[in-house]
Structures are given as structure tokens and as C-alpha cells.
Structure 1
């Protein structure tokens, strides 16, 4: 898929996915529960959303693929969990998008004097957004950027108009009688849906330019900006609108604007609400359609779900997502939106669990460019916190979610299980605990390909030589003599020289100067007779081989080449010297399960390629 999205696109898609009914409708209901302290509830919900999204960022930077949390969970916890989660998230985001389109249609219905019915607006709007996304995520993202910028402008005007008109008495008492901190926590769970759309943005990670930088900065900036925006909007709303009006209002922001600047203000905020519904709907179709795309790619749904048009966009998935949105408008919107919110929160729980599994699996090619701080304690805190929020939402939402879970299980057991033999990180943990061979390195190979695309690696001559290089593991108790024997016999097979001659040259070279580069790394290298000869052999000694001083070398890069390949000889020495300076090199080299993974460490290294 085309990488056309930058930082501004990621920021605006994430922001647009969050700003919706959570700020234009919920404040009145939240105020009736805890009073002005609802500002703290929104801030607390924003903090929890930030904690949750840190896990999503780590996974997205390690595996920037379409499908977002579905892809992460499938590769970490397995295809069963991935199928269920993918379907849950697909339906959840589709239903949340339908709710936004419902809100837009309701506004038009009221403004038209109740003459334009819901479906007369919902159908063309859904078709319009589907066509925008079929044209390409980049086109949809540009539309999203324009809408979000206008939305921020209108919200900024609202705050500028409201600040001089604040009444300090409106903030007293700050919290309703009998509520206390437990009330603030409960209300934080109630308003968490205001941040629920943030998870959508992970589904377009494959289309982000320079994902190692733009995904973390875009996600974190959007979360902080929207949390601050919510707090400021609520501060103005509480300070201007009398408590008795705010507590009973379903349009508190628009009502406040009417008090400040009359019908013009009311119209401007109504326009802002429309823009919010539009941005949520546009981002929702874009994100939701990536779930069936990813499921189809993995053969967990029929392959036509994974078909893309000539622009690289998942046209079939977008059309089916739009159909689900329109059909869901016939259902009980309020109940389904609550269910969707519960599913989105559960995705944060599973994402935190996935981070713990991926870290513990010690996969060589799991290389996130952003890591959750204070792991495992912060992910564990997130799992507990979000689980409590889900319980607090009530059984109605959970029952609908369980229905979708059962549907997902049926699809997996009757379709997907027969068509996939996917390897996942949890198997690697079980393998290490049981000492049984359960994996075949396919996940490492898949992650290798993902990292190649993420880092846009263009292999040079050194990489091409490494691809064909021999990698060997020395057995327990190996010493320098055993190392020389193994090296000489390996090079005898590829060079027109006897093992004895090769051994003699290595001994002479070592007498001229030590080949030890660091206490962990040595680069034995010799010049051989002939033309066009150049070879690199990778050797690992898990126990280490004693060299000069107290050094116990575990990584050997053995180079042998003819004089006419002297320039390649020097390039290889420079490349290796750069690679071994990486702070995680020694850990990765030690943890690599086999020879292929030793080569991956070098092929995916961050270095200047010539």
C-alpha cells in the first residue's frame, strides 16, 4: 500500500477520530454526575487513553501494517484471538462511525424543520466518504486535515469569546455532594468514549511515511492536544452556562455559544459539531475497512476481502464497511455505541497484553522504535484500569460484545482454522518453557519483511554478500583452536585454498595484531591469493572464547578476500564496526535462536549503506 501519510495526516486523523459526541453531547450528562469536577474526569480519561496508546505505539512502530490492533494481536496472541478481535474492532468502528453519521443526519433533520429524514442524509454521506476512501487514504487524509484545522479554529474562537465571561461562582461547589474521588473515577469511565477513536489510527500504520517517527509523535500529540482541548472547552462551558441549564443540556457547547454571541455563535458551534461528525465518519470508514483487509490477507476471511484497486485501496472492504454502517442505522444506536466503546477499551487491554508477550518472546526481529516505559508495570496498570472501566459500563454493552465474539469464534473454527498455520509470539514463550520445538521461524521472517519496508532498507553489496554467507554456532567448550578449525574448513569449501593454508594465514595475521574489536566482537581477516574472491563467515560462541586479557569473545566476523577486493574488505570492516556499536547488538546476538536470525541482525542494521 502507498505510504502517503505524514505527521500532520496522522495527527489530524487521530484528532478527527476523537472529537465527536464525546464533547458535544456528553458534558451535560457528566456535569449532572459530578459537577465542575467533570474536568478532572476528562483529564483522567485522557491520561488513561495516553497510557493505553503507548502500547499501541510500540506495536505499531514494530509492525506498521494494515489492520492495526488485529495484526498486532494475531502475531502476538494467535489467529483465534486475532480473528475475534479483528471482527470486534471492525464492527465497533463501523458502529461508532454510524453513530457519527446519525448525529450529522439528526442535525440536518432539525435544521430542515424536520423535513429531511435520516436516511436521506445518511446514504449520500456514507457513499461520499466511501468514494473518498476508495480514491486513496492520502486523498481522504487531506480532506481530514482541512476539516480538523477548521474545527480547531472554531473551537479556538469559542474559547476566546468565553474566557472574558467566566463566572467564578459556577465552579462552587467543585464536586457534587456525596460523590468524592470515586465519582470522578466513575465519570472518567463514562466519558472515556470521547477518546475511543484514537485506536482507529493504528489501522493505517502501513500507509504512514517514516512510521518510526510519525506514528509516536502523531499519536501522542493528538492525545495531549485533544485532552487539553476538552479541558479548556469544559472550563469555558462551566464558567458561562448556569449549572441548571448545563445539567439538563444535550447540546451544552452550542447552548453556551448562543449565550455568548447569540444565533451566530450557535450556528458556528453547530457547524463545528457537523465537522466533528464528518471527521469521525471519514476516519471511521478509513480505519474500519482495514480490519477485513488484514483478515483476508491472513486467510481468516475469504480472499476477496483483501482485494485492492489500482490505487492500492481495499475497495471491497470499504464497500462492505459502508454497508454495515448503513444497516446499523436501523438498530438501537445508543446500545450499540456503548457496546462499541466496550470493544475499543478491550482492544487497549489486549494491546497491553500483546506488548508483554512480544517482549517476553525475545523475537530477534521485534524491533519497535518506541518502547513503553516502565514495562511491565505500566502495561499491567493499563490492563487492570481498562478492565475496571469495561465492567463499569454494564452488562448491556458486554452482552452485545459477547454476541460478536461468538460470531468470530464460529468464523475461525469453521473457516479460518483450516486455512492458516500462522506462527505467533506466544508459541515462542511456550517453546522456551517446555523445551519443545513448536515454531519454524516464519514469524521472524515475516517481521524481517515488515522491518525492511518500515525502514525502507535498500541493500548494498555488503548485504548481498551477507545473504549468502554461512553462519555457524560453535559447540560448548570451543577454544581458539576449535575456532580456527571450523573457520578453515568452512572457507576451504568456498575458496581455492586448503584448510591448512587458511589456518596458517589466520595465525600469521593474529601475530601481527589482535583481531579483537571489543570484548564481545572479533573480526579475523586475511588476504588470499586469486582474483574476485571475497567471503564473510559469521560464527557465534554462546560461552565465549578467551582472547587477550579477560576478553571472552562471542561474535566473530571472519573475512577472507583477494587483493583486488580490498575496497570491499574495507567497506565490510567499516560496516561491521558500525553495526556492533548498536546498544542492543550484544543482546540480539545472544538471543538469536539460529543462524538465520544472526544474519537478520546484520541485514536489518541501522547503518549508512553504500
Structure 2
């Protein structure tokens, strides 16, 4: 698939379904519980606070969308714009952060998304292990992805609708089992631990920003509305679910658990069934929303020859067929590694926060050093997307996300060491390819200057 514009256009309803599926999918069934076990009742407010860095990131994201809608956006914007005066360094540093996200998402997060649903199926059929059910759900999900973004969109809309019905039922029933005693003490952990819990939630509350990685497959209005619409909906739903999680069960009992466990403590067997069914649907919606994005990261890296191009050979539906097979196999193997949920959640939170921080730093770069970008005709009359707004929102975002990332690393040092090992592997891959094909050939001719047609002032 070309990284320019796909012939398959994603409509608003599909984009919203993908955005909702990314955040309210499998992550909703585990992330609030993991974060609550760390931060305690204050996690409810932390979940709402995720809106702050999300909103601070919007000016940068919307500026880039306005001038260069491309798939995957996170890859091309950062590798081409982070350090304008040193394209090789910009390309290498951006690749490392993108590789970290790409590797963890592909190898750990996709299997992690089906854990709650697999546990539900295992409770119905104890003779079949949760690992086997996880494998079945993964194979089904990757089979859907094989048939391209159009089929993904159709399946997402159906599954998201059913999942939201289940979430609504869980919330309504869960509210009646809330005990105010569970909200005290409200902030039992220290400040650093509380910030760590916030960083874990960030990967849930800001996941809709990943829709930018499908930017070449939808028009600008659809892309912007889907980010805002799914963001508002996801954050609202996550706050309500976190409120029920904390109020239903003491945070001291939540370590290593999922929403299915919370439901099992208080709800009727009928509601427990609905919760499990919702978890099952949520895991699939997350995978079929995230996997196409991971695919596009892979194809972009192949375009830049960091990865051998033959590995990104497309099937008839525009997806990298060899990579989907590899992704399926590695995900199945990961299921049987039994990596602790808290380690997986922390590792992904580090990788995702680093990715968002990278993009916000791009906002700093374009607002200070590449202001000619704002002469683009799509930005001329905008009062929001100006150098000053992007500059100060980006600076605020760097402080906000950077602080959360620092504390997350400090309190999850084992996950960070794993992340560093993954980055080292990415650096080694980059170095090997640079030797084999030459570093100049790893930065393709396609640059932002090729894509953006500046609307220069008349007296320029």
C-alpha cells in the first residue's frame, strides 16, 4: 500500500467505530482496573485528567492533518519533521520511538486485548483453557484484518454497537453495588505512584489519536471529527467505568485483575455473562482496530527500507500478507508466555506515551523552526492552528506527558528495561540496514516538501 492515499476511503461512521474500538475495546476491560490497583480511588479523577494532554496534543495533530494527511501519520510526521536540519538524525531517533510502540503493540498488546474475553469463555467451558480461547480470538481477528480496512470497518461497527450495549448494562447494574467506603482513602498512594497510574490510563484515554495513522485513507473533516468524537465518547465512558470499578471493589483486591473479576464480585450471573460477552467483543474490536495501524507502520518502514520490502508485499486487499502471518504467529506464541498484566500495561503505557511525546515535540519543532508550514492554504484563516497556539500547547503537552512518562518509568523500572532492550534491537536493525543498503537509501525521496504545496504570501 502506498503511503500517499488509499483508494479505499474510510467514512465517518467507520472512523468513529475504529476510534471507539481502539480505546473502549479490550483496554477498557483491563486498564482501569490495573491503574486503580496502583493509584486507588483517585484513579477516577486521573481518568478524567487524561483529557488535558489529549486536548494539548490536538493543535499539533490537526495542523499536520490539515497540510499532509498520510498513513501512518505518526511515522511520517516525526521522521520527516522532528529535526529539520538533520534528516538522518530525525529519521533514526523517530524510528526508535516508533519501533518501541510498533514492537510492543504487535507482540504484547494484541494478545493482551483478548485476555478478559478468553477468561470469560474459559468460565463457560472450563475444559478448554483460556490460552486456547485467546488463540481462537486472535486467529479470528487477524482473519478479519486480512480482508482490508473496508471489512474491518463493517465488523467494527457491528461489534462496537453490541459492546456498547454490554458496557451500558454493566454500568447501570454496577452503580447499584457501589459502596462509598471503597472511595476512602481517596489517594492512598504517593504522588509519584499516582502519576504512574495516570500514565497507564493515558494509553486508554488518548488511544483515539492513533486514528491519525489512517489519515491517508479518509478526508480531513472525517479524520478530525473522528478523533474528537471518539475521544469525547471514550473518555466519558472510561470515567464512568472507572467510577464503578473503584466503587464496587476495594482497590487492594484489583492487582492483576480485569473488569470481569470486578463484575464477578457483585453482579448477578446474568450481568456477569453480559460483562464477559462485552469483554469478548471488546478484545476483538481493539485488535481489528489496532492491527491495521501496526500494519501501516510496518509498510512505512519497508518503504524506507528499514525492513526488507518483500516482507511488506500486499495481498489483494492492500494489507501486508507476510506480516499478518508473522503477527498472528508471534501473538499466538505470546499468549503462552503468561506475561503479567501489570507489566504489559506499563510497557505499553511507556511506549505509547513516548510516541505521543514524540509527536508533541514535532509540534514544538514546526512552531519554532518551521513556521512556513503555517502558510499553507488550509491554515491561512485558522485561529486555532497558528504557530503560537501550536507552540504553547505543545510546550504544555511536553511538560504534562514528559512528567507522567518519567514517573511511569521510575516506578516500573523492569518494564522500562524491557523497553530499552526493544529500542536496542530497533537500533541494531537500523544499523544493519544502513550498512546493507546505505543510510541515504533509508530516507526515501518522499518528504513533506514533496507533499505540501505551500501557499506563500504574495510578497514572498
Do both share a fold (TM > 0.5)? yes
Listed as ranges, the matches of 1:90-489 within 5 Å are 90-94=102-106, 95-113=108-126, 115-163=127-175, 165=176, 169-170=180-181, 173=184, 175-176=186-187, 184-195=194-205, 197-208=207-218, 210=219, 212-239=220-247, 241=248, 243=250, 250-252=257-259, 255-256=262-263, 259-260=266-267, 262-331=268-337, 333-334=339-340, 335-359=343-367, 360-363=369-372, 367=376, 371=385, 374-393=389-408, 394-416=412-434, 418-419=437-438, 421=440, 443=447, 445-448=449-452
| Cα separation, partners in 2 of 1:588 and 1:154, compared to 1, 3 Å | farther
Distance in 2, matches of 1:202 and 1:4, equals: 14
| Cα separation, partners in 2 of 1:254 and 1:267, compared to 1, 3 Å | farther
Q: Give the stretch that moved more between structures: 22-31 or 216-225.
A: 22-31
Distance in 1, matches of 2:306 and 2:251, equals: 53
Shift of 1:11: 1.6
C-alpha distance after superposition, 1:42-61 (max 9, x if no partner) = 11123323433553343344
Q: Give the stretch that moved more between structures: 243-252 or 382-391.
A: 243-252
Shift of 1:152: 1.6
Normalised by the length of structure 2, the TM-score is 0.82
Q: Which protein shows a greater Rg?
A: 1
Distance in 2, matches of 1:248 and 1:207, equals: 40
Shift of 1:257: 7.4
| Contact persistence 2:34–2:258 (CA under 8 A) | no
Distance in 2, matches of 1:196 and 1:307, equals: 31
Distance in 2, matches of 1:82 and 1:287, equals: 17
Q: Give the stretch that moved more between structures: 401-410 or 103-112.
A: 103-112
Distance in 2, matches of 1:237 and 1:173, equals: 14
| Cα separation, partners in 2 of 1:197 and 1:171, compared to 1, 3 Å | same
Distance in 1, matches of 2:390 and 2:201, equals: 27
Higher relative strand content = 1
Shift of 1:402: 1.6
Give the gaps of 5 or more residues in structure 2.
Answer: 1-5, 83-89
| Contact persistence 1:29–1:248 (CA under 8 A) | yes
Q: Secondary structure at the match of 2:103?
A: helix
Give 1:68's match in structure 2, choosing from 67, 73, 78.
Answer: 73
Normalised by the length of structure 1, the TM-score is 0.63
Higher relative helix content = 2
| Cα separation, partners in 2 of 1:43 and 1:73, compared to 1, 3 Å | same
Shift of 1:222: 1.2
Shift of 1:70: 1.3
Alignment RMSD, CA only? 3.3
Q: Which is bigger in relative contact order (C-alpha 8 A, separation at least 6)?
A: 2
| Cα separation, partners in 2 of 1:58 and 1:168, compared to 1, 3 Å | same
1:465 aligns with none
Distance in 2, matches of 1:395 and 1:366, equals: 44
Q: Secondary structure at the match of 1:301?
A: coil
